[in-house]
Amino acid sequence: MKMLIFGGSGRTGQVMKRAAAAAGWEVCAPAHAECDLLRAEEVSRCVLESGAAAVVNCAAISGLEACLDDALSAHLVNAVAPAAMALACRHTGARFVHLSTDYVLEGHRPGLKDESTHCKPANVYGSSKREGELQVAEALRESLVLRVSWVCGNPDKPAFTESILSKALAGAPLDAIADKYSMPTDAEDIARAVLELLPLSVSGVLHLCSGGEPLSWHDCAVIVLQHAAALGALPCVPDVQRKLLSQATFFREVRPRHTAMNNARLTSLGVLMPSATQALQRITERYLRAAK
Ligand SMILES: NC(=O)c1ccc[n+]([C@@H]2O[C@H](COP(=O)([O-])OP(=O)(O)OC[C@H]3O[C@@H](n4cnc5c(N)ncnc54)[C@H](OP(=O)(O)O)[C@@H]3O)[C@@H](O)[C@H]2O)c1
């Protein structure tokens, strides 16, 4: 059976492509140049002509500053294009899975958020993604909208976790923001969960993330560095200077502070996720293997 994957060159999309192919899917993943998500009619044509039984959208303009600088493109790629995919899937009968984000949540209150939590995005990226969620649901009620967070674990597309490991291995000074919280999630767990969810008759919004308590970037850094040291890749656990979000002057867009999600609905469906600590430890091992 054929799976059409949008965003196959991205951090999550690369891993999704590999996992789907390994699970026996015939994967088709048009490159940006072959199907520009700024053009909804190209997106519709691509789905309608694909013959795909499943369409998975891993594409987005995911940079917060990129969305701030070009809100129209963010709206077209993050909201209009997914709606066109969903509508086309309504015609073809394909299963549609769309990735969204914890940044649709307001993020003022500490603690874990479930799917019933009120959405109030704090930035252009979050607003475009929330619009995408709503438009997808309206175009195809049977769509599955999976909110993911702090995607890491693809050594070819380093995230915060891989960057801190790389700096630590190079002996560089380390710092990390200690007052912003979410749930780091391994791209490999996301891809596995998508494959497990495809045959289930579940629709609507699901929080797809690791389990456990909210972690800051500083917490994540300490976990990966402790594990790297325990594995002998570092002589000791290096010190990581704690920074405040307000000190990150290179961020021009607002970041929500407390968006860690609760994955109880996902796990109640039998899709099990590791704890964030277990995920970070696995990611560390994968990064160290790839760095050899
Ligand atoms: N990364 C995270 O921590 C994170 C956190 C929460 C939610 N998410 C969500 O998870 C999903 C995957 O994120 P990611 O980090 O894996 O994404 P990513 O690495 O930024 O990749 C984005 C993908 O979208 C494609 N794309 C962007 N604009 C396009 C356009 N106009 N036409 C065609 N393709 C286009 C990119 O292709 P090119 O590179 O070729 O342009 C790339 O393949 C997204 O829905 C994102 O919102 C991510």
Residue extents of the structural domains in the chain: 2-215+249-291
Distance in Å, CA 102 to ligand 1 centroid: 15
Question: Which residues, other chains included, contact 45 with Cβ-Cβ below 8 Å and sequence gap of 6+?
Answer: none
| Predicted local confidence at residue 174, as pLDDT | 97
Token readout for 154 is: 């693809």
Confidence of residue 109 (pLDDT cuts 50, 70, 90): very high
60 touches ligand 1 (CB under 6 Å):
yes
Find the 171 Cα to ligand 1 centroid distance in Å: 31
Helix 160-169 × helix 276-291 angle, to 10°? 50
Q: Atom 1 in ligand 1: which residue has the minimum CA distance?
A: 151
Of the chain, the percentage scoring pLDDT greater than 70 comes to: 100
Q: pLDDT band at 282, cuts 50/70/90?
A: very high
291 pLDDT higher than 90 = no
Residue 292's pLDDT band (cuts 50, 70, 90) = confident
Q: Is the pTM of this model over 0.85?
A: yes
Question: Is the pLDDT score of 96 beyond 90?
Answer: yes
Q: Using CA atoms, how far apart are residues 22 and 231, in angstroms rounded to an integer?
A: 29
Instruction: Say which CATH topology domain 2-215+249-291 has.
Output: Rossmann fold (3.40.50)
The average pLDDT across 94-106 equals 97
The answer to whether the CB of 276 falls within 8 A of the CB of 211 is yes
Distance (Å, whole) CA 78 – CA 38: 9
| Mean pLDDT estimate for the chain | 97
Provide CB contacts within 8 A for 40, sequence distance 6+.
76, 80, 81, 83, 84
Q: H or E segment at 223?
A: helix 217-230
Q: Is the pLDDT of residue 271 over 90?
A: yes
Cβ–ligand 1 contact at 150 (below 6 Å): yes
Average pLDDT over residues 35-55: 98
The ligand 1 atom nearest the CA atom of 36: 32
- Please tell me the distance from the alpha carbon of residue 102 to that of residue 285, in angstroms, as a whole number: 26
Confidence of residue 8 (pLDDT cuts 50, 70, 90): very high
CA distances from 118 to 21, 68, 105 (A): 36, 23, 7
